[in-house]
Amino acid sequence: MAIEIDLTATPPEEVRYARKPDWLRVSLPHGEDYERVKAKVSGLTLNTVCKEAACPNLAECWGAGTATIMILGDTCTRGCRFCNVKTGNPRGVVDWLEPTRVADAVRDLGWKYLVLTAVDRDDLADGGALIFANTVRAIHERVPGARVEILSGDYRGDLTALEIVLDSRPDVFAHNIETVRRLTPHVRDKRAKYDQSLAILRHAKERAPDRFTKTSLMLGLGERTEEVEAAMDDARAAGVDIFTMGQYLQPGKKHLPVTEFITPQRFAELGALARSKGFHQVVSSPLSRSSYHAEQAFSA
């Protein structure tokens, strides 16, 4: 069971910067496929959540020729205490040619499955919904047969904005609850609410019952086992099909500390618990992230 701590207090140095266990060590990026993806993404002036969020799977995914593209810039209007993406005010700036560049990258790299995400854009009236939808449509037009999974924000709970995105027919709609109910106010930006996230997921499933919905939890922030199970139940009640769990890793000194490094065995046990709830797919391991091996949902 995870240790409960006061997230508003400053933890001891040895807790904040504890040595990572061996199961969290990853290889450095290398290889021909990695360099090819890196060059293409850089050449088309695209952002990836792989780099911006310091994902530990960057070497594996880029080496396999895949990436998670992040649109709408590299500056998020929210300040979640776990996230490595920079926070600021983009002041309404939108690059309307970005959907074309993303679709060109998907075509040129031969991707058949793309995960598309975005920073939160509370400075925009629609939260960035239109350019999200335009990007999905551009990929479908340029790369017929390619599947697109979107990792979406909550649009401040605005279902009209959400409808704009859903009308573009993404193959998978993902939105992360990130943590358990009790820890949400301490972990996520104050505009990101637990029930609001569940409502977004529920509406997405009701709107398109034939398409997958997905959410993810970070573990190691002080959550209790019964709270993790409650989050599973809440997700299933909202119609979520795919549930992922991974270890939270502290990106920098200003971010929340890791309370506990969850063992691979414990992740396996929690994964079995989630599967018993009836999810279509469960991914649960220390290095799992929302988009990790995302394409396997269609072969599960």
Which helix (H) or strand (E) element contains residue 80? none
Quick one: tokens of 108?
A: 């040129």
- Cα–Cα distances (Å) from 283 to 45, 59, 155, 205, in that order, read 31, 19, 26, 20
Residue 259 confidence (pLDDT): 96
Res. 32: pLDDT tops 90 = no
Rounded CA gap, 148 and 131, in Å?
15
CATH architecture assigned to 176-291:
2-Layer Sandwich (3.30)
Give the global pTM: 0.85
Q: How do the domains of the chain map onto residue ranges? A: 26-170, 176-291
pLDDT in tens, 233-268: 999 999 999 999 999 999 888 999 999 999 999 999
Between 48 and 199, whose confidence is greater?
Answer: 199
Q: Which residues pair with 75 in a beta bridge?
A: 86
pLDDT in tens, 56-75: 555 555 545 456 788 999 89
Cα dihedral sign, 19-20-22-27: negative
pLDDT in tens, 72-122: 998 999 999 999 889 999 999 999 999 999 998 889 888 888 889 999 999
- Cα–Cα distances (Å) from 75 to 41, 110, 118, in that order, read 18, 28, 10
Residue 287 confidence (pLDDT): 86
